[in-house]
Amino acid sequence: MCHSADFKMLGMRLSASQGLRPRKAEGIAVSVKQCLTCGLVFSDPQPVPASLSDHYEMPPEDYWCEDHLSRDETFFSAEIATAKRLLKFSQGMTALDVGAGLGQAMSALNRAGFDTYGIEPSASFQKRLDTNRVQLAMVEEAEYPPEMFDFITFGAVLEHLYSPSDCLSRTLGWLKPNGIIHAEVPSSSWLMSKLVNSYFRLRGTNYVTHLSPMHVPFHLYEFGLASFQKNGAILGYDVAEHQFSVCAIPFVPLKPLFRWLMDRTNTGMQLTVFLRRQPGC
């Protein structure tokens, strides 16, 4: 994201759950590192499947939890409200959902007055979508005219891509000047990861809980706010707004205390950014 080669080793991540007794866990381990310049967390080496279907060609019910499969009509409404405010919205503005999944965000954008398109690499997911509006492709392979869209959303997508910076650069070409890109990503400063890492150290292992590069949901990256700020200086966008969200913290005692602490210290699980393309870039 920032083109820096300075990083530190955080530890090792197994290809399955490490559980509370990591010494008894079995699997293939990869190293997990963190950029010292922008905070990006990544696996090294990265597992590259023979084809994308090795990761994502599965029934939606096996990939997503029941809550995601049953989103109500308020889904994505807060993100749309922010996008409209930043765009000074007018009816019929164009939107693109990268990683359309089951189409809930596309439906929400259409209801909100956007003229919406999508990209989805999984054929099993795309079966539920309007194929006239959705390209069955990876974002690296999709084709759209230059400056076609006012708004592009990466909802829980960038952490799955092998080169997030290259994909952002590609989609910026499809975005109108002053257009907005929305992205929701795992935060590299999540407090619970740091606590679990400390627990693994006390158990006498060098395991970390970051990422899941070789099992569902196949996260390859966690991002810091500086990851986007420094990447924007390279690619030509500004971070117009950002927010850290605590999200769910199951199986943790003293939840109210931890939620309060993460909310006050910007150490929640999720980072949401709204990126504005600079005019002339």
C-alpha span between 97 and 83 (Å, rounded): 13
The two tokens of residue 280 are 């002339």
C-alpha span between 20 and 12 (Å, rounded): 15
pTM: 0.90
Question: Residue type at 215?
Answer: H
pLDDT tens track for 54-78: 665 555 555 545 555 455 778 999 9
pLDDT tens track for 226-247: 999 999 999 999 999 999 999 8
3-state secondary structure of 185: strand
The two tokens of residue 272 are 């949401």
Q: Kindly list the structural domains of the chain, giving each domain's residue range(s) and its CATH number in brackets, ordered by start.
A: 7-277 (3.40.50.150)
3-state secondary structure of 192: helix
